[in-house]
Amino acid sequence: MIIELKGRVGHNGELTFDAPSDLPPGEVDIVISYLTEAEEADEALWDAQFAATSDAQFDALVARGVAEYHSGQTDEFDPTVEDD
């Protein structure tokens, strides 16, 4: 099971987060990831671009992908191979 907790690290290095009160008992692994200011700006840009994309544009991309798949223009996905 994955339970995502959001938090913030303060200027003094203290971690604060809101934990749900209904977590099941047991051991957990805690991994902390953070974004640099540049990464936060990039994520904000991505979110804005995504929000500005119309459903019609997404529908067109899906139709194009399906057409490429049916015409044999796509390759099988292999997660062990890095491909650009």
pTM over 0.75: no
pLDDT at 15: 87
E strands, the chain, are 7-9, 15-17
Query: Residue 41 and residue 37: Cα distance in Å, rounded?
Result: 6
Query: Based on C-alpha coordinates, what's the Rg of the chain?
Result: 20
pLDDT digits (tens, 9 = 90+) for 18-67: 877 788 888 888 887 788 899 999 999 999 999 999 999 999 999 999 99
Tokens encoding 14: 């203290």
CB 18 within 8 A of CB 5: yes
Query: Residue 71 and residue 65: Cα distance in Å, rounded?
Result: 10
